[in-house]
A and B are shown apart, each in its own frame.
Chain A
Amino acid sequence: MRLLLVEDHVPLADELVAGLGRQGYAVDWLADGRDAAYQGACEPYDLIILDLGLPGKPGLEVLREWRAGGLTTPVLILTARDSWAERIEGLKTGADDYLSKPFHPEELNLRIQALLRRAHGLANQPQLEAAGLQLDEARQCVGRNGEWIELTAAEFRLLRYFMLHPGQLLSKTHLAEHLYDGEKERDSNVIEVHVNRLRGKLGREVIETRRGQGYRYNGAGG
């Protein structure tokens, strides 16, 4: 999952980047509204966390531009302006959720998870479930028939992405774009290694390889 964080307060951004990294998200951080308006529209983010009081261009203006340009990425507004009038305005402009500062880090994680599930048509699930597997995002382990299997951070990220796109054909490049932030070296062989480890833990049939096209998640029932 690749996230864009737009926040101009450096200490908070540092905290958020670190915290989100621990949650297995690849995070790009921007502090300027103009940069955000551009980069948010051309990079394939899975979710955007947007502060409203930004230098360069106000957050709402950035959001309006994204939506006018046809961007459908879920946007979570993170702001200290928490009156209902501002909240309504934010959601009318096209935000998908609104979290007011100060917030509990746990609350942010839950909102992000819920928003991602909702964006992939898996609403109303307390836990990510796809094709017979359950993913505990807090403990980063996967459950199958009541049995819990520990995952490494890299395996967890990869499996989460697969589970949010069940049955879809995903190329290595696509996976690399969504699993690593903009600064990391993207090596598709690393993905191959992690896919093989997941298969080792969960069984070969969980992820199917389509030669020359990519991978497809079939889950426990595949």
Chain B
Amino acid sequence: MIALQHRLSLGLVAVLLVVGLIFAQGSLWLFDLGLRRYLQNYLREEAEALLIAMVRGPQGLQLDEQRIGPGYQRPLSGHYFRIDFDDRVWRSRSLWDHTLPRPEAAGLQEGLSDGPSDQHLLVYRADYRRFGRELSISVAHDYTPVLDSFRRLRQLILWLGAGALLLIVLLQRWTVHRALRPLESARQQIAQLQSGQRGELDRDVPPELEPLVAQINHLLAHTESTLKRSRNALGNLGHALKTPLAVLLSLANREELQAHPDLQARLQEQLAQIEQLLARELGRARLAGEALPKARFDCAAELPGLFETLAMIHDRNLDLRWQAPPGLRLPWDREDLLELLGNLLDNACKWARGQVTLDIEPVETGFQLTIDDDGPGIAAEAREQVLDRGSRLDEQVPGHGLGLGIVRDIVDAWAGSLALEESPLGGLRVRILLPARGPDVR
């Protein structure tokens, strides 16, 4: 798409050019027409004057030199005539050695004829009958000065027109820029929305933009409430399923069943499968994923709570640290990110000997999250396998934990990547790269 600004400029320039050219050319043409009509009258009067100057002399018809204008005497003066009668042709002296051709028809001639010394002549022919003879008088007038001044005028108009056009385009750009300023601010706000610096768009906009802004805000609120509702419903469903499951788990451990260890083992195995599946699928269904909800992850606000929780759950004097640039907000759903970090850090805490660190830093393509622990780590050849299975890193440590399963789901939903590496602390390093959202994250 071409930017609105350019589109408006292009349209305006095209219209102005067409209108300006038609107007300039048209007015020149009308002026030319008027001038020729005026000259036609003048030429007819000249022809009549010549007719009157024809007198009967001693050798028949002759031209009374006293009565014709001096312009016809001076060579190349720009005033010429030619009189045809019987088989004779009289030419004005001013024509010098040039022959003025006799026009085909009477009246003002359409085009211009070539005259002496590159002059362009406007020619008028009148037919009379005098002294019992047919007379054809052609009068010509040099039109070159008029053409020259037309050319100069056209150039002037061209320059003036170009100047006016430039001025108008500049003014128009300025006006459009001013008029489009709310659009520009809306564009910036949308970029901020995508980078997580803002929860909704400003409502203070011109009436043309109001429906758009209102609709976007409405959609955001709608996404938010849908997410909340579906999470709530999933929570209720989970509650409804997990509580009876807890009863079953408890029943399966009853002393009465210990007489039938086979039965008990199979019951427990099946229940464990249901439990895992339920947790995984409910967890996956809770994800906001690509949606653009209002609640963003404010590192400074969320991480302390998460780390306190971890310290409380893993109550064995672990050194837990996090590091993120001040004021950093990650443009993803708060609960999703807590789930991602919670699971990874929980894993790290289970394995760590004494230290777990989290680093969040913006990189060129998005954000990098690094989780390190000083536990036993995973051998390089086993890492691939762990990732492939999407499996439980925490199989050997009892208690809660879905391990990498839900983490993989979240990272995949955000088109991110996850890598297992060796940590400088000695244990495992989980490095997650999340690409920035939207086309513009300035």
Decide whether A and B assemble into one complex: yes
Q: Chain A: which residue is nearest B333 at the CB level? A: A85
B247, B271, B343: the one contacting A9 at CB < 8 Å is B247
Q: A91-B308, A106-B253 are in contact. Are A123 and B242 (CB under 8 A)?
A: no
Q: A83-B338, A105-B253 are in contact. Are A12 and B243 (CB under 8 A)?
A: yes
In residues 223-258 of chain B, which contact A (Cβ within 8 Å)?
235-236, 238-251, 253
Q: Chain A: which residue is nearest B253 at the CB level? A: A105
Residues 74-116 of chain A, each 1 if its beta carbon lies under 8 Å from chain B, else 0: 0000011111111110011000111011111111000000100
In residues 397-412 of chain B, which contact A (Cβ within 8 Å)?
398-400
User: Contact: B335 with A102, CB < 8 Å?
Assistant: no
A9, A91, A104: most-surrounded residue (chain B CB, <10 A): A104
User: Contact: A80 with B250, CB < 8 Å?
Assistant: no
A96, A105, A123: the one contacting B250 at CB < 8 Å is A105
User: Contact: B335 with A83, CB < 8 Å?
Assistant: yes
Write the nearest CB–CB distance from A88 to chain B, whole angstroms: 5
Asked if B339 lies at the interface with its beta carbon under 8 angstroms from chain A, I say yes
Roughly how many angstroms separate A11 CA and B247 CA in the complex, as a whole number? 7
Asked if B10 lies at the interface with its beta carbon under 8 angstroms from chain A, I say no
Write the nearest CB–CB distance from A139 to chain B, whole angstroms: 14
In residues 34-88 of chain B, which contact A (Cβ within 8 Å)?
none
Asked if B334 lies at the interface with its beta carbon under 8 angstroms from chain A, I say yes
User: Contact: A101 with B306, CB < 8 Å?
Assistant: no
User: Contact: A85 with B334, CB < 8 Å?
Assistant: yes
Asked if B286 lies at the interface with its beta carbon under 8 angstroms from chain A, I say yes
In residues 309-356 of chain B, which contact A (Cβ within 8 Å)?
309, 312-313, 315-317, 334-335, 338-339, 341-343
Q: Chain B: which residue is nearest A90 at the CB level? A: B309
Q: Classify chain A: how many residues form its interface, as a range.
A: 20 to 34
A12, A15, A79, A107: the one contacting B399 at CB < 8 Å is A107
Asked if A53 lies at the interface with its beta carbon under 8 angstroms from chain B, I say yes
How many residues in B have their beta carbons less than 8 Å from beta carbons of A?
41
Asked if A145 lies at the interface with its beta carbon under 8 angstroms from chain B, I say no
Write the nearest CB–CB distance from A107 to chain B, whole angstroms: 6
A16, A85, A104: the one contacting B335 at CB < 8 Å is A85
Asked if B111 lies at the interface with its beta carbon under 8 angstroms from chain A, I say no
User: Contact: B312 with A15, CB < 8 Å?
Assistant: no
Write the nearest CB–CB distance from B394 to chain A, whole angstroms: 14
**DSSP class of B's interface residues: helix, strand, loop or mixed?**
helix
User: Contact: A80 with B239, CB < 8 Å?
Assistant: yes
Q: A15-B250, A15-B251 are in contact. Are A102 and B315 (CB under 8 A)?
A: no
Write the nearest CB–CB distance from B282 to chain A, whole angstroms: 9
Asked if B421 lies at the interface with its beta carbon under 8 angstroms from chain A, I say no
Q: Which A residues are in CB contact (< 8 Å) with B249?
A: 102-105
Q: A16-B250, A100-B400, A105-B250 are in contact. Are A84 and B243 (CB under 8 A)?
A: no
Write the nearest CB–CB distance from A3 to chain B, whole angstroms: 16
Asked if A19 lies at the interface with its beta carbon under 8 angstroms from chain B, I say yes
Asked if B114 lies at the interface with its beta carbon under 8 angstroms from chain A, I say no
User: Contact: B400 with A82, CB < 8 Å?
Assistant: yes
Write the nearest CB–CB distance from B310 to chain A, whole angstroms: 9
Residues 165-190 of chain A, each 1 if its beta carbon lies under 8 Å from chain B, else 0: 00000000000000000000000000
Q: Chain A: which residue is nearest B338 at the CB level? A: A84
Asked if A67 lies at the interface with its beta carbon under 8 angstroms from chain B, I say no
Write the nearest CB–CB distance from A38 to chain B, whole angstroms: 24
Asked if A213 lies at the interface with its beta carbon under 8 angstroms from chain B, I say no
User: Contact: B275 with A102, CB < 8 Å?
Assistant: yes
Asked if A194 lies at the interface with its beta carbon under 8 angstroms from chain B, I say no
User: Contact: A97 with B312, CB < 8 Å?
Assistant: yes
Q: Which A residues are in CB contact (< 8 Å) with B207?
A: none
A16, A79, A88, A106: the one contacting B309 at CB < 8 Å is A88
User: Contact: A92 with B239, CB < 8 Å?
Assistant: no
Q: Which B residues are in CB contact (< 8 Å) with A105?
A: 249-250, 253
B235, B271, B398: most-surrounded residue (chain A CB, <10 A): B235
> What 10 A-B pairs are tightest by C-beta distance, nearest first?
A84-B342, A80-B242, A102-B246, A102-B245, A80-B239, A15-B250, A101-B242, A84-B338, A85-B335, A101-B246
18 residue pairs bridging A and B, Cβ less than 8 Å apart: A11-B244, A12-B243, A15-B251, A53-B239, A80-B243, A83-B335, A84-B306, A84-B338, A100-B400, A102-B243, A102-B245, A102-B246, A102-B248, A102-B271, A104-B249, A105-B253, A124-B316, A124-B317
> Given A15-B246, A104-B398, A118-B315, 17 other A-B contacts at CB below 8 A?
A11-B244, A12-B246, A53-B236, A81-B235, A81-B239, A84-B335, A84-B338, A86-B235, A87-B342, A88-B305, A91-B308, A98-B309, A100-B242, A101-B242, A102-B275, A106-B253, A107-B398
List the interface of chain A (C-beta within 8 A of B).
9, 11-12, 15-16, 19, 53, 79-88, 91-92, 96-98, 100-107, 114, 118, 123-124
List the interface of chain B (C-beta within 8 A of A).
235-236, 238-251, 253, 271, 275, 279, 283, 286, 305-306, 308-309, 312-313, 315-317, 334-335, 338-339, 341-343, 398-400
